[in-house]
Amino acid sequence: MTKLKNDRYLRALLKQPVDHTPVWMMRQAGRYLPEYKAIRAEAGDFMALCTNPELACEVTLQPLRRFKLDAAILFSDILTIPDAMGLGLYFETGEGPKFEKTIQTAQDVQKLPVPDPELSLKYVMDAVRTIRKNLQGQVPLIGFSGSPWTLATYMVEGGSSKAFTKIKKMAFAEPQVLHALLDKLADSVILYLNAQIAAGAQSVMIFDTWGGVLSPRDYKLFSLQYMEKIVSGLTREYEGNKVPVTLFTKNGGMWLESIAATGCDAVGLDWTIDIANAKARVGDKVALQGNMDPSILYAPKERIEQEVTDILAGFGKGTGHVFNLGHGIHLDVPPDHAGYFVDAVHKYSRQYHA
């Protein structure tokens, strides 16, 4: 494999010295870029884009041509595993992801296959291989999956939800059914991420988008314990290189200590927690990723730079910080503003890395 020209992102996750704080953006490959919209139109629909390795590669590389990002992230969707389980993922304009079939009973769970990543999810592995080849060692490639809890919410609800009544009904009325589903999903995610690593992903991330809708007790019961199972089952070194693992729970700021104790290398932060407070709580146990409010990118250049400097000052000196947004970049953010953000991180972070 080609030697990495820029390994700041991996070094920061492993709390090794860097010359400036590395930065990438959640959803950096996507709909805020006009060149993405052109490829999306060419593909015909979102799933056609996801399942075409060449187009997925092109979309992954697009933001790297515009911005001096320190990592690339695989262009895919968190719901590929449920789709490979036969639930029929589709997208309706303005309504987000939906499934043709939902999981309601113990029998439904029993019928679900654990997908073979090189069969029903081969298009993802082919995309990873294609991207890694075309990156030519420019920056590391991040692979990812949704968390078991987050995947289960879509599988039980049938799509996005505001109140999560169906899955919470299952959690409290038939917990054994939900635990069986979550356990099967954890096994599937382990296989999926390990296959991404074997295909070329140099770091992996688990997105627990909906963990924050649970109570503290239920978060540990239905979300965290399954992410911990995944962390313990992942390939942590491949071809002589360590493979860092990041866990991100949206609205999970109250549980940072518990997340850090799973054995992961880094904890992702959304914008609802002060990074100085987060660092004080987890100490040197893990690296931190985050955590600018994506909406700051609507602001003028000077305001974006001020926010960047405030967050850098909050983390302070030393390594172990990967700068990111607190969630995905919004679709109507001007691309130039994303550039201001990336450049500001590089410019103002050097003073924190003696």
Catalytic residue among 40, 83, 132, 226: 40
Which candidate, 198, 253, 194, 258, places its Cα nearest to that of 227?
Answer: 258
Q: How many residues does the chain have?
A: 354
Q: Please enumerate, by residue number, every residue annotated as part of a binding site for substrate.
A: 27-31, 77, 154, 209, 327
Q: Judge residue 344's burial from the number of C-beta atoms within 10 Å of its C-beta, 0-12 exposed, 13-18 middle, 19 or more buried.
A: buried
The yes-or-no answer on residue 332 being catalytic is no
Q: Please enumerate, by residue number, every residue annotated as part of a binding site.
A: 27-31, 77, 154, 209, 327
Number of neighbours of residue 83 by Cβ within 10 angstroms: 21
The yes-or-no answer on residue 129 being catalytic is no
Catalytic residue among 9, 32, 36, 154: 154
The yes-or-no answer on residue 303 being catalytic is no
Residues facing residue 288 across a β-bridge:
267, 321
- The answer to whether the CB of 23 falls within 8 A of the CB of 324 is yes
Number of neighbours of residue 119 by Cβ within 10 angstroms: 9
**Which parts of the chain are beta strand (E)?**
72-73, 89-92, 96-99, 141-146, 203-208, 237-238, 241-242, 245-249, 266-268, 287-289, 321-322
Euclidean distance between CA atoms 228 and 10, whole angstroms: 21
Catalytic residue among 7, 11, 70, 77: 77
Annotated catalytic residues are 27, 31, 40, 77, 154
